[in-house]
Structure 1
Amino acid sequence: MQQTGTVSVIIPCYNHGKYLSETLDSIEASTYPRIEVIIVDDGSNNQETVDFIESCRERKIKGQYVKILKQENQGPATARNKGINASSGNFILLLDADDKIDETYIEKCIWVLTKYPHISIVYPSVQHFGDQKDIWHAQPYDFRLLLDYNYLVVSAVFKKELWEKIDGFDEKIPGYEDWDFWIRAGSFGYEGYWLREPLFFYRKHNESRLNRDNQQRKKLISFIKEKNSQIYREAAKSINGRQENKSLVQKLATKIIRVGSHAPSFLKNIGRRIVKPILEKALRQDSSGSDTLFQMQTLEETSVDNYIRHSYEYTPNLQYIDLLTKRKSEVDRETLSILFVVPWLTVGGADKVNLDLITQFKEKGHEVHLFSTLTDKHAWHEQFKSMTSKITHLGNWFTGINELLDYTIDYIQANNIQVIQMSNSQLGYQIAHVIKKHCPHVKIVDLLHMEEPYYPFDYFRYSVRYKDAFDHRIVITSYLKEVLIDKYGETPNRVTVIPNGINVVDTYEETDYLKKVERNECVIGFVGRMEEQKLPMDFVQAANEIRKHTRHARFIMVGDGSLLKSTKDLANSLGIANCITFMGSRNDAVEIMKEEFSLLLMPSLREGLPIVGLEAFSLGIPVIATNVPGWNDIIFQDKTGFTISVGDYKKMAVSCLSLISNVEKRKEFSKNAYLLAQQSYSISKTSSNYLDIYKSLLSQDSCIS
């Protein structure tokens, strides 16, 4: 009996038992609740595989025992047909025994398949892992192009009725049977949808069957085209000139990629750096693999605002919401469901704040979801994913605002989102009113990090238009609260000051700072973007002044940006390049600070509440910085460090020298810095303040009801 809404995952396995555990774990971690798993042992003769498959009979995934089917070795096409024939779901996912899926993959496919009746296949972009680590992007569905080359992975999610209609996989084909399957599906009018995120993980290794098929590629292509010659003749009649030209471009790109895949490693690296961007431009794709949802950073209203206000009408995906929504008996009233809406997941202070908050919320037992809104490579994706698997990159997936809004509202309802934590997301602000209109129970809390009045754009000014959609505002300093109230007209009782929090070790001794004091040299460090705001060249000038008075100092700069080359050039011209180590962008900046830094020197033009300064304090590192809001909020003059006028790098050098020469004073500053971090900036305490606000807002509704 077919189970509506159930996804049957079919896993053909031939001697790949050593990988199968990872495959099953990835399915079990899926955010989609209705899954059955069927393993088809395709005549494995490896005892490790045979034993492991047999042990899977006792394993449950999503409450259902894994089903085991066996056959003589007949190949994946026969195994897939056998598994699908025995399945009870109305959706099918074919997953090879050495591959994996992202936790959100199935759920996102089901959203598409239940929203669009004309769509029968959802296929993703691909993350390669194992011997090769990169991302392969598919392309929007076009049946005519599919006849030229296969851009659909076999691990798409499709409706079972498709398989029934076209009589399944052809078991007589010697290879590329999945391409043949998609061609025949397309000839029957079944359409596909490209899910642009790389949510399918394909293992690259020498044992891959695809590698073997590719060795007889020309023969297999000729075979499939001859087998489906009638389909090709019918399609040829309807191809117009424009489509044919596009196909030629796609063919050329594919041929270049195919030739490049067999090139030596050094040529592949050149191809990725030089050829790939050219191909992407020719195909009008960015590095995410899609045409972007254009987001112009401006204080003025944009076409997105205009569309939302005058044209958007929500079309709910009721089937998806029903399939995902937890029953009331399954909901823990003490657990909050929190959705973070952020621009990207990249290296930066604001992102570190979000990551730390998410970590704390998860540790305290709450459910955390995350939306990013810009098209980006999201360098910190894995760091965030280690805390929450429920991540959607809206800017990478969607190319239209209507579909994005429908998904957002459906997701909020299906996942019982109670609180949305906004942080520096322009698109998040733009869609806030729509969220409140369709999900009035959801509380939206806005976090502002820094006012930048001298820039053409900043979130203090931008947020004014959308502030009525927010239930509460959080700023990180008392100064910023005054600005938000006095300058931007916010109501005082709607604004709370919560400083950025950081992880603080339990005791001062654990900072290991005293070990650094015993060294014969003092390391002075800089951590930040190499941009004008951070004044990295002032750091180099201060370093030069320090070197004039002592040879017991060296310098480390951690960070990347447009001024990196100029900063290095300045160090060379001053003759101190050999004293400064440029480390570039690093994910282990805190570890570097703990191991190396004696002092942190930060000559910024402006700051919000500098997370790097708080992290330095947590490690007992005194800070010398400019006297600007943010730094002067956390530095106690002549106690935890010094604040110096912007541009006065000579006085900064003098302050550093006073601590280099006076070891006892440096130790005193170090201890003061650590105690300040422990008492005022512990992430455990600051995250609890966020949760108190959320619970207070939600309790107001409870009192009304």
Structure 2
Amino acid sequence: MNADYQSRYSYAPADPSADPDVLVVTLVVSVTDLARQEMALRAQSLQSWQWVIVCLPALAEGLLHLATDPRVRVIPEMHPASASRHLVQSSSCRFVCTLSADTALDPTFLEKAAWFLATNPHVACCNAYTRDESGALWSYGFEQGDRFLDTNYAGATALFFKEDLLATGLPLPINNDDAWEIWLQLADQGKWGFTIPQPLILSLYPLSMPPFQSRDPSHHTIQRDRLRARYGTLHGRFPHVGLTDATPFEAISDAPVLANHLAKSTTTKRILMIVPWLIVGGAERVNLNLISYLTQKGFEVSIVTTLIRQQHPWLSEFERFTPDIFILDLFLRLPEFPRFIVYLIRSRGIDTVIVANSYLGYQLLPFLRSHFPETVFVDLLHSYEEMWKNGGYPRASVGYQSQLDLTIVTGGHVKRWMVARGADPERIHICYTNVDVDRWRPDPQRRAEMRISLGLEEDDLLIVLIGRLTSEKRPLLFAPIIAALRKKTASRFLTLVLGDGPLRGQVERQIRELRLSDVMRALGRVNDDEVFGYLAAADVFLIPSQTEGVSVATMEAMAMGVVPVSADVGGQGELITADCGVLIPHGPHEVDEYARVLARFADDPDMRRRMGQAARKRVERHFALRDFGPRMEALLEQAWELHHTAPRVVIPIELAREWAAQIIEYTRQEMSLDEIWAERESWRSNPRPHPSLAIPLRQSFRRRVLRFVWAQVAHLYRWGVSRNMRWLVPLKERLVSEVYRRGW
């Protein structure tokens, strides 16, 4: 649990005397230090809680120091478990959290779990993945169903509906063994729980595998046999609980689920950023830089993500600046997204909402503005994409400009594109994204070390490509360009592809088919320090994209003294000039043109050194990060002024609800069509016989062998992932992809 969460977001109740929503109960039967639990509760984003510590009388004096907060009570009892049940019965709280003495809570756990239960009243309880302080992860829970007859997969810390907890007829759990029977009793009553697939519970002790069973094997066996004897008939009939899909034209509610009004000083400004995801990318780097600057200036920032079924590998990067992050699809159904965002704005007292590349964020603007006409709404744009939704986010910004107080673009090319399509130029302002030139700077020592490790001499050419391997980056041009380069130069060179994405497998296949393995390597996703090392060693940064804004990755490369060779698209011409890089227009002969330019650099080390120095100077003079934050802050001030001097139209709230319902239905259908399209593309790239047709004997044998092998190694894979061996995940994905590609 990060100790500075409270300093980065001032969670405190606006009215400390308000009735609590959550009763938190901790049972203590031995000497225990609850300082971490206290710190975590005070840092909760849901502040409407009451904490009751029920302990043996001999332990009460050592815990009384925790009761300085009026929401905390220490109650000595000879029988803590049964006494706590009476306390729950007499409580007016809707929810009860059983907080074990060996766990602490992530700042957003209570809020997320309460929202899940309130919007899924058929579910009895909610917990989350558990991690320990070393980073080891237990990523299992109620989805294990029948396996609960073998061991407790959910621990003892969870949030319950009060009535469902009492209906078990069991005392509150002191330890994991007690909780195990509660889970089975719930299942026997036709109730079950949900595990939020995010590590929101912190184990204060190292996680063993499995973590929630007695360390004494004989005790565990006795407990397991007793529970099997009582609940064995549950096998095969455990309830299944999950987030259900939206139904057609589902009604959108804006009725409050929780109040949770947080205190806010008159000098504090709070910002909500609506983003699609938290991935490794240029737009996300800009968001990180913006949030870093704003939090340093005393702003408090909340983040919601709106895409569904996505990975968020940069979540930890954003958590360095704010704990108030909500990946909505992990704990909410799609129709609840609008209501939660309304709640979040009201709960935090948000001053400004920034929509950054979230299409759903644009579509919900009329709904949000109708609820909060006093809030400022701004969007941040990087590039347009003609081939995606007829322009992508800038097209949406033009359409919703009447609901935005100001649009901020990161390049003049985006503004020109929008104005040509009818946008008001007075409401669009440019703020270049810029780069930290003190961090991204040439490092001769790192360069020498990296080039030695790669087997390169100083005059050998190292080409680096960095980016998510998706169609807009045109990664399927990488290998053809390098194949053409090899024919044009006798000089030694090496090409490194850094990044992951849906087209990575095809890039690797091209490398093999064109026999480029000696001069080209695809390294997959790498961390920031590794990116720095490769750029320190690099000579040329290749970026033949279909579309770009003013590329942050290009800025970072130039700041490191690396020469950019880029497609002449988007705002790249605002960054790259003839003395420090090369721009190549799209066209039928561009592969040969890229190869010709790269051959010149391979054959002339002095030229690429001169241009690399010029690239560094250009970024230092015109694109330094020190100018980005103040410019953004000034534009936000301008948006606030425009909001008061020239307010935007607000639609009636009844119309806003119907608008939101139509938007959620549009999103639901779009998701369904995306799945159908993905299935179509999968069949086109790898035709397979219909399942009703007989499978050839050899293929059938292979499948049986693969199933047998997976059954043997699955537990080792899960153990490795839980021990933070994250490299196992992409390895598994690549193996599965290869199996499907071969039709096994």
Match of 1:602 among 543, 547, 557: 543
Match of 2:321 in 1: 387
Question: Letter of the aligned partner of 1:608 in structure 2?
Answer: G
Deviation sequence 1:57-108 (CA, Å, 0-9, x none):
55688x4697666788x8x846965997999978542222332322112234
> Normalized against structure 2, the TM-score is what?
0.70
Amino acid at match of 1:27: L
In the alignment, the residues of structure 2 paired with residue 313 and residue 206 of structure 1 have an alpha-carbon distance, to the nearest angstrom, of 42
Aligned counterparts of 1:199 and 1:508: Cα–Cα separation in 2: 35
1:182-221 equivalence runs, <5 A: 194=194, 196=196, 198=198, 200-201=200-201, 203=203, 204-205=207-208, 208=211, 210-211=213-214, 215-216=221-222, 218-221=224-227
1:114-163 CA-to-partner distances (Å, cap 9, x unmatched) read x68978955234345569525335479x9x99999999764233466877
CA contact (8 A) 1:444 1:469 kept: yes
Give the C-alpha shift of residue 691 in structure 1.
1.9
CA contact (8 A) 2:177 2:214 kept: no
Q: Indicate the structure whose relative CO is greater, using CA pairs within 8 Å and at least 6 residues apart.
A: 2
- Opposite residue 201 of structure 2, the aligned amino acid is F
C-alpha distance in structure 2 between counterparts of 1:687 and 1:347, whole Å: 21
How far apart are residue 540 of structure 1 and its match?
Answer: 2.5
1:628 maps to which of 565, 569, 582: 569
Is residue 539–residue 602 contact of structure 1 (8 Å, CA) maintained in 2? no
* Matching of residue 484 in structure 1 with residue 487 in structure 2: no
Pairs within 5 Å for 1:416-495: 416-456=349-389, 458-487=392-421, 489-495=422-428
How far 1:478 moved relative to its partner?
Answer: 0.9
Deviation of 1:382 (Å)? 1.9
Mapped partners of 2:472, 2:625: distance in 1: 26
Query: Equivalent residue for 2:272?
Result: 339
Structure 2 equivalent of residue 571 of structure 1 = 511
2: CA distance, partners of 1:480 / 1:704: 24
1:299 maps to what in 2? none
Query: Structure 1 residues 624, 66: closer, same or farther in 2, change over 3 A?
Result: same
Shift of 1:550: 3.8
| TM-fit CA distance, 1:523 | 1.5
Does the aligned pair in 1 maintain the 2:129–2:195 contact within 8 Å? no
Alignment of 1:17-166 (within 5 A): 22-35=36-49, 37=51, 58=65, 63=69, 77=81, 92-110=96-114, 122-129=125-132, 133-136=137-140, 138=142, 154-158=156-160
State the Cα distance separating 1:201 from its structure 2 match. 2.1
The CA distance in 2 between the partners of 1:26 and 1:174, in whole Å, is 20
Q: What do the CA deviations read for 1:603-652 (whole angstroms, capped 9, x no partner)?
A: 22221222210111222211111222232221111x22111233523332
Contact map agreement 2:440 2:559 (CA 8 A) in 1 = no
Find the aligned partners of 2:569 and 2:645 in 1 and give their Cα distance: 43
How far the C-alpha of 1:558 sits from its partner, in A, is 0.8
Residue 576 of structure 1 aligns to a residue whose secondary structure is coil
- How many residues end up aligned between the 2 structures? 613
Aligned twin of 2:496? 556
Q: Do 2:23 and 2:93's aligned partners in 1 also have CA atoms closer than 8 Å? A: yes
Could you tell me which residue of structure 1 aligns to residue 706 of structure 2?
none
- 1:249-301 deviation per Cα after TM superposition (whole angstroms, max 9, x unaligned): 654xx9xxxxxxxxxxxxxxxxxxxxxxxxxxxx7x9xxx533459xxxxxxx
8 A contact 1:373–1:395 mirrored in 2: yes
* Alignment partner, residue 587 of structure 1: 527
CA pair 290-91 structure 1, distance change in 2 beyond 3 A: closer
CA displacement at 1:525 relative to structure 2: 0.5
Decide whether the 8 Å contact of 2:95 with 2:160 is kept in 1: yes
Distance in 1, Cα, partners of 2:270 & 2:595: 49
What SS does structure 2 have at the residue aligned with 1:389? coil
* Inter-CA distance 186–194: structure 2 relative to 1 (3 Å threshold): same
* Contact kept in structure 2, 1:513 and 1:598, CA below 8 Å: no
1:542 paired to 2:542 = no
Please show how residues 229-628 of structure 1 align to structure 2 within 5 Å.
251=238, 290-293=243-246, 312=252, 314-317=254-257, 320-321=258-259, 323-326=260-263, 330-333=264-267, 335-375=268-308, 376-401=310-335, 403-456=336-389, 458-487=392-421, 489-505=422-438, 519-548=458-487, 549-588=489-528, 590-628=531-569
CA contact (8 A) 1:604 1:625 kept: yes
Return 146-155 or 392-401, whichever deviates more.
146-155
Counterparts of 2:526 and 2:439, CA distance in 1: 25
What is the CA distance between 1:339 and its match in structure 2?
A: 0.5
The C-alpha deviation readout for 1:534-573, integer Å capped at 9, x for no partner, is: 2334333333344452443212111223433333333334
Q: Distance in 2 between matches of 1:208 and 1:41?
A: 24
Distance 2:295 2:84 in 1: 39
What's the CA shift string for 1:312-337, capped at 9, x where partnerless?
A: 453245xx33x4232xxx4142x321
1:360–1:684 Cα contact (<8 Å) kept: no
Q: What is the Cα deviation at residue 176 of structure 1?
A: 4.7
Letter aligned with residue 468 of structure 1: S
Give 5+ residue unaligned stretches, structure 1.
45-49, 227-231, 233-246, 255-282, 295-302
- Secondary structure of the 2:283 match is helix
CA distance in 2, matches of 1:607, 1:174: 54
CA offset at residue 492 of structure 1?
0.7
Gaps of 5+ in 2: 1-15, 452-456, 648-744
Give the conservation status (yes or no) of the 8 Å contact 1:56–1:66: no
Instruction: Give the whole-Å Cα distance in 2 for the aligned partners of 1:222 and 1:393.
Output: 37
Whole-Å separation in 2 of the counterparts to 1:400 and 1:479? 34
Note if 1:642 corresponds to 2:582: yes
Number of the residue aligned with 2:666: none
Q: Equivalents in 1 of 2:104, 2:388: separation in Å?
A: 45
Task: Look up the SS of the partner of 1:608 in the other structure.
Answer: coil
Check conservation: 2:459, 2:605, Cα contact below 8 A.
Answer: no
Rounded Cα–Cα distance in structure 1 between residues aligned with 2:280 and 2:73: 44
**CA 1:116–1:544 in structure 2 vs 1: closer, same or farther (change >3 Å)?**
closer
Q: Distance in 1 between matches of 2:183 and 2:340?
A: 27
> Alignment partner for residue 616 of structure 2, among 670, 674, 685?
674
- Taking the aligned partners of 1:569 and 1:608, their CA distance within structure 2 comes to 29
Q: What does residue 5 of structure 1 align with? A: 20
Structure-2 change in CA distance of 1:56 and 1:366 (3 Å) = farther
Deviations 1:209-228 (A, max 9, x none): 534675345433256559xx
> Which residue type is aligned with residue 155 of structure 1?
T
Q: Following TM superposition, by how much is the alpha carbon of 1:362 offset from its aligned partner in structure 2, in angstroms?
A: 1.5
* TM alignment of 1:649-660, pairs within 5 A: 649-660=591-602
Percent of aligned pairs sharing the same letter = 21
Mapped contact 1:524–1:601 kept (Cα < 8 A): yes
